[in-house]
Amino acid sequence: MATVTVLKFMQKTAEDETLRHQLESLLGVGDGNISSEAELDSAETEALKGDRAPIVADFASQNGFMFSVDDLVTVVDAFQKHQSGELSDDDFALLIGTEPEDVEAGNQALQVANPLKRLSKYLSKTYLGI
């Protein structure tokens, strides 16, 4: 399923600093970490669903992740709707091709692990220009 490939690419942005920085440059917004709902901010969401989607899909294919622009938009839209409460865990899991318990476990782990890192990155960019 192509949505699984999109998810693998998104997860790789948390693991690979070089990939993350390249994606950040391509998007022109955010920090390049689009690995989860918690990491995907509204500016990144809009860029990924808008005119940057074809560029990101091409960039992903150059890095071994083959998926279409529609697949990318579907997953990003699902993340956005799930985060806002428009999609239940079950509907979200069905849409992106995972198991509901995987979604719940992943969300709990990310809510604990990533806020401090994200805040640190935001403050560094905002106040230190790093």
Q: What is the pLDDT of residue 122?
A: 56
Q: What is the pTM of this model?
A: 0.70
Would you state the pLDDT for residue 67?
92
* Count of other CB atoms within 10 angstroms of residue 99: 12
Residue range of the domain that includes 19: 2-128
Decide: 29 and 44 in contact? Cβ < 8 Å. yes
Domain total in the chain? 1
Give the position of tokens 């960019």: 125
Largest CA distance in the chain: 42
* Tens-level pLDDT at each residue, the chain (130 residues): 578 888 898 888 888 889 889 999 989 888 888 887 788 888 898 999 999 999 999 999 999 999 999 999 988 988 888 888 888 888 887 877 765 554 444 444 444 445 555 555 556 656 666 5
What's 87's DSSP letter?
S
